[in-house]
Copies of this chain bind each other. A is one copy, B any other.
Amino acid sequence: MLLKVQKTFLYMSMKLSEAKAQFIQSWGILGSQWGINRTMAQVHALLLVSAVPLTTEDIMEQLSISRGNSNMNVRELIDWNLVSKVIVAGERKEYFTAEKDIWKVATRIMYQRKKRELDPLTDVLTQLSQVDGDPADPEMVAFTTTVANLQKFSNQAQSTLNTMIKAEENWFWGSFLKLMK
């Protein structure tokens, strides 16, 4: 068996390790406000700022979480296309590394959110637009108007997000396309 590589953090300057810890902590809080599991966000942060790929063990140690938890969250991140497995020659263990291109990270997260948030709304609205009843009933008018407006909005949001997800960054639409022209 090969010698284990000395853990990276032993060589980190104090300042850098503190900064990493704060970044991981902050990204975790942010993540949970985003509806993303806090630990998943922390694992993501850890991999985002690591120069080298890490193993399940590294993640467990650095975040003080269990094996099961580490495994589940890494798999979810792989599912989201934010993390990938790396094969290291001569090692049996799996190593993980995060996508570092922030635009890609952002669009992949957006894609997941669209899938979880907007797509189901669109479906429900389509269904609800078929309700029928007395067109003179003010309650009916209120309902159908609201649903129709939401549909218009959600359709537009769908196509805006699709365009965004497909877009080449262009660094993020140069000053938002000259303030939307």
- The residues of A with any CB-CB pair to B shorter than 8 Å are 8, 11-13, 15-16, 18-20, 22-23, 26, 29-30, 33-35, 48-52, 100, 102-103, 106, 116-117, 120-121, 124, 127-128, 131-134, 137-143, 145-147, 149-150, 152-153, 156-157, 159-160, 163, 167, 171-173, 175-177, 179-181
The reply to whether B156 and A171 contact each other, CB–CB distance below 8 Å, is yes
The reply to whether A128 and B51 contact each other, CB–CB distance below 8 Å, is no
The reply to whether B147 and A163 contact each other, CB–CB distance below 8 Å, is no
Residues of B within 8 A of A146 (CB): 48-49, 100, 102
A32 nearest in chain B by CB position: B35
The reply to whether B50 and A142 contact each other, CB–CB distance below 8 Å, is yes
Instruction: For the complex, give the distance between the alpha carbons of A30 and B153 in Å.
Output: 15
Residues of B within 8 A of A50 (CB): 139, 142
Residues of B within 8 A of A153 (CB): 102-103, 106, 172
Distance in Å from the Cβ of A113 to the closest Cβ of chain B? 8
Instruction: For the complex, give the distance between the alpha carbons of A160 and B174 in Å.
Output: 10
Instruction: For the complex, give the distance between the alpha carbons of A49 and B125 in Å.
Output: 13
The 30 listed contacts between A and B (C-beta, < 8 Å) are A11-B139, A12-B137, A13-B133, A13-B137, A16-B131, A19-B128, A19-B143, A22-B127, A23-B124, A23-B128, A26-B120, A26-B124, A30-B117, A30-B121, A33-B35, A33-B116, A34-B35, A35-B35, A48-B146, A50-B142, A100-B145, A100-B146, A102-B146, A102-B152, A103-B153, A159-B176, A160-B172, A160-B176, A163-B180, A173-B180
Residues of B within 8 A of A116 (CB): 33
The interface residues of chain A, by DSSP majority, are classed as: helix
The reply to whether B152 and A173 contact each other, CB–CB distance below 8 Å, is no
